[in-house]
Structure 1
Amino acid sequence: MTTLERVVREEWGRLVALLLAQFRRLDLVEDALADAVEAAQKRWPDDGEPDNPSGWLVTTARRRILDRLRAEAMAARKEPLLTVEAERRPKEGVMADTGDVVDDDLLRLVLMCAHPALPPEGASALSLRLVMGISTADIARLFLVSESTMAARITRAKKKIVTAGIPFAIPGTEAIGERLDVVGHTAYLAFTAGYAPGSGPDLLRAELAGEAIRLARVAHALRPSDTLAHLIALMALQHSRRDARIGDDGELVLLPDQDRGRWHHDEIADALSLLEATGAATSALSESYRLQAHIAVEHATAPSAADTRWERIADLYAELETISPSPAVRVARAVAVAEADGPAAGLELLDGVEMAGHRILAVRGELLARAGEAEAARIALRQAIAVCENDIERRHLEVRWADLAPDEPAQDT
């Protein structure tokens, strides 16, 4: 990964926040940053990488914006007024408020995107693209829709902000509380994109998952709620296994095969304490996070894979499905039921379930293999391989598919 790719991937949201803080024009900021990245692609190979790559991008983008403002001012014959006003606006990282309400750049920008004029799903999708820099294709996978549908949804959210003149400003203290569910949902989706990227060369993006947890913690510190507490515990428990999920060879390590000594047990302990200190769920969303957190507890506290209480996990997934039904929950429940009651029981739960992507095909293939139906398993795994866009997961599926190949008959001599 080049320096430019890393900066765009890891710092895009911060750069957007800095420029929006000064200019409050989403259309200008996005276009200017895109122009700055294009300029970097052309100039850095010849001129050398700057000492401060992100600063170079911000400075270049700022110049582009000021040029655009001057052009607009010229057209309106108000150039002196608009240009002076733009240059007098707050400098990097300083918003209209003084930081008394929100002093975290990432939370500021997500709160801005969570404007009540936008539907919650549109607000979350916009935050994931604009703030977190997650690709439209991967966002589409998170929402279980096509990439074209998601691209249109994000475009509508942007146009709503621009055409309706929605201000990119921090809401008042009371209004913040109304937006925190959207912030939490955005954090959860961003964590999922980091924990299990839908595409690309990485099995996980630990920095993105960690930033999502931090976002939820900052929001919880600002306005504590059982919903955010349950969500933080859930994400922390899953994130605690990050170092054990990839082997020394860079390949996927399944949960039963992970070295539990590499789990972050201090993070597990903190999450357990948070769950214990948090009251009962006060909404369906909070209860959904709570149940998922307790599923993660079962994995985190089992002394070994053989000691995992799969019956308990299957029961928790059944509860989760009653309040938050989805194909993803059904697939996860099928896995737990297969571990508790055998592959046939798991396969029965998958009957009639439709879900985009490779996961359901991979699960069905594995359960068919365990049920002794090798040829059907190979067909399902081949279908999963064909649609899997994550390089490491695809290699794992290819190895599993090859393992199920029928033995070649011995050749007569």
Structure 2
Amino acid sequence: MSGDAAASADRGGGAAASDRLLATVVREESARITAALTASFRSFDLAEEAVAQAVEEALREWRVRGIPPNPAAWLTQAARHNALDRLRRERVFEDKVLERTGALLAATAAASEPAGEPPVADERLALLFGCCHPALAPDAQLALTLRAVCGLTTAQIARATFSTLPATGQRISRAKSKIARSGIPLRVPEGPDAASRLDLVLTIVSVMYSEAHFVAGADAAADRDLAYDALWLARVIAAALPREAEALGLLALLEFHRARESARAVDGELVLLAEQDRSRWDAALVADARIVLEKAARLRRPGRWQLHAAIAACHADAVDAASTDWLQVLTLYDMLLAYDRSPVVLLNRAVALARIEGAQAALREADGLEQDLSRSHLWHAVRASLLRDLGREDEALAADLRALELTANEAERRLLASRVAR
């Protein structure tokens, strides 16, 4: 290799290393910095834009100058300078803001020192609750959470949520404007509305994880970054709120799901749960999920996320698909209906019902969901399977064809196409 080629390779390797580290720092620190700047400058929009600009600057400068000694402090200082520069341009800069942010920089830089395990920062949780405020539309909650808490770019969010770049940008901009106009606080709620707000936050995290697995045009492999961010957020919430049983329930659920990932996607192809090689499941992650679920149970405050996790635990307990305790699964679904009667839960219950009472009973339940799920490929796929079990091959084929029309994920399309071709 020539000297120039070697130098180029070194620069390329350094850039890759700095980009990987930056991604980690953004994931771990951007929410803290955004929340802290918001508290100092009293503007979420200003803070979020300042952090986003700092990330762009780090992407360029770290590739050229190398990784700084304290990356988190570098990002904090860059974001602070960006916020101050914008205030100066707008001619609203005041001395008291400078004093506040100076103290903020010192405190945040000290907290970023690598010695010891850093404490869970309340700022991340407060920012998450602010982004998931019920005054914001659900699609705006998700987009804003991905941007402000997880540090994803607008382009990444557009891909993750199956939206266009302009629409995603407008959604984020409108959400930030509404937070400013309405004075939505960035804090963890207390009192009567705390439980409902927590459930909303947990739902957003669950949606993030689910969307990582149904990327349009992709194969069976999940969007690793989005799935990781959802699991990371679940861990942040559970660590910050250790007495909230439902936060632990969601964490256990996502760990059970994540443990099956290597068996769910094999060589780009989707493998259904019943056909997965369970030796490929992450045993350590399954064990941790069980521990987390047991911690939740000891708090004696049942809820939907714990029941979802308990159903996942039933599948994890079975050495193979034939050994699944379907009666227990159905019982848990019946209990879950007291907390969650969504159409998807009812559809999943119908799948369990088929194992206990047969395909005919399950089909009646599934058909009752047509009004809610007729645009869902999963509903048509479940009906196809039940119809095929009943020997109604023509109807099963029609249902599979409709499911094929409705899915954009390539791995799911190949799986459905293989059924149609039989």
TM-score scaled by length of structure 2: 0.70
Shift of 1:302: 0.8
Give the aligned partner of residue 290 of structure 1: 306
8 Å contact kept, 1:245–1:258: yes
* 1:21 paired to 2:22: no
**CA separation in 2, counterparts of 1:233 and 1:273?**
8
Cα distance change of structure 1 residues 22 and 34 upon mapping to structure 2, 3 Å threshold: closer
* 1:382 paired to 2:396: no
Cα distance change of structure 1 residues 376 and 123 upon mapping to structure 2, 3 Å threshold: same
Shift of 1:336: 1.7
Shift of 1:369: 3.1
* 1:321 paired to 2:337: yes
Give the aligned partner of residue 358 of structure 2: 342
More displaced, 260-269 or 17-26?
17-26
Paired residue secondary structure (1:389): coil
Give the aligned partner of residue 127 of structure 2: 109
**CA separation in 2, counterparts of 1:374 and 1:288?**
36
Tell me how many residue pairs correspond in the alignment.
383
Cα distance change of structure 1 residues 62 and 360 upon mapping to structure 2, 3 Å threshold: farther
Give the aligned partner of residue 94 of structure 1: 108
Deviations, residues 247-297 of structure 1 (Å, cap 9, x unaligned): 1x2211111221111112233233333434423653xxx421232222112
**CA separation in 1, counterparts of 2:106 and 2:417?**
48
* 1:332 paired to 2:348: yes
User: Which among 175, 192, 211 is matched to residue 193 of structure 1?
Assistant: 211
Identity %: 34
8 Å contact kept, 2:397–2:420: yes
**CA separation in 2, counterparts of 1:314 and 1:205?**
31
User: Which among 209, 233, 236 is matched to residue 218 of structure 1?
Assistant: 236
Paired residue secondary structure (2:203): helix
Paired residue secondary structure (1:204): coil
8 Å contact kept, 1:233–1:272: yes
**CA separation in 2, counterparts of 1:245 and 1:344?**
28
* 1:279 paired to 2:298: yes
Cα distance change of structure 1 residues 172 and 250 upon mapping to structure 2, 3 Å threshold: closer
8 Å contact kept, 1:18–1:92: no
Shift of 1:66: 4.3
Instruction: Please tell me the residue identity of whatever aligns with 1:230.
Output: G
Cα distance change of structure 1 residues 89 and 181 upon mapping to structure 2, 3 Å threshold: farther
**CA separation in 2, counterparts of 1:200 and 1:104?**
38
Cα distance change of structure 1 residues 33 and 174 upon mapping to structure 2, 3 Å threshold: same
Shift of 1:320: 1.9
* 1:204 paired to 2:247: no
Instruction: Please tell me the residue identity of whatever aligns with 2:281.
Output: W
Shift of 1:104: 6.4
Aligned positions of 1:139-178 closer than 5 A: 157-166=175-184, 168=186
RMSD: 4.7
Cα distance change of structure 1 residues 140 and 131 upon mapping to structure 2, 3 Å threshold: farther
**CA separation in 1, counterparts of 2:378 and 2:23?**
25
8 Å contact kept, 1:201–1:392: yes
8 Å contact kept, 2:143–2:157: no
Shift of 1:86: 8.2
Shift of 1:102: 4.7
Give the aligned partner of residue 5 of structure 2: none
Paired residue secondary structure (1:199): coil
**CA separation in 1, counterparts of 2:379 and 2:341?**
16
Shift of 1:11: 7.1
8 Å contact kept, 1:36–1:57: yes
Instruction: Please tell me the residue identity of whatever aligns with 2:319.
Output: P
Shift of 1:227: 1.9
Cα distance change of structure 1 residues 64 and 374 upon mapping to structure 2, 3 Å threshold: farther
Paired residue secondary structure (2:248): helix
Cα distance change of structure 1 residues 380 and 33 upon mapping to structure 2, 3 Å threshold: farther
Give the aligned partner of residue 135 of structure 1: 157
8 Å contact kept, 1:343–1:370: yes
Q: Structure 2: any 5+ residue segments left out of the alignment?
A: 1-14
**CA separation in 1, counterparts of 2:52 and 2:142?**
21
8 Å contact kept, 1:122–1:154: yes
User: Which among 202, 205, 221 is matched to residue 184 of structure 1?
Assistant: 202
**CA separation in 2, counterparts of 1:365 and 1:11?**
46
Cα distance change of structure 1 residues 103 and 173 upon mapping to structure 2, 3 Å threshold: farther
Give the aligned partner of residue 411 of structure 2: 392
**CA separation in 1, counterparts of 2:351 and 2:387?**
12
8 Å contact kept, 1:19–1:58: no
Give the aligned partner of residue 6 of structure 2: none
Give the aligned partner of residue 252 of structure 1: 270
More displaced, 291-300 or 2-11?
2-11
Shift of 1:329: 0.7
Deviations, residues 102-151 of structure 1 (Å, cap 9, x unaligned): 5266435314435687689975664245424473686599xxxxx99999
Shift of 1:327: 1.0
Cα distance change of structure 1 residues 115 and 329 upon mapping to structure 2, 3 Å threshold: closer
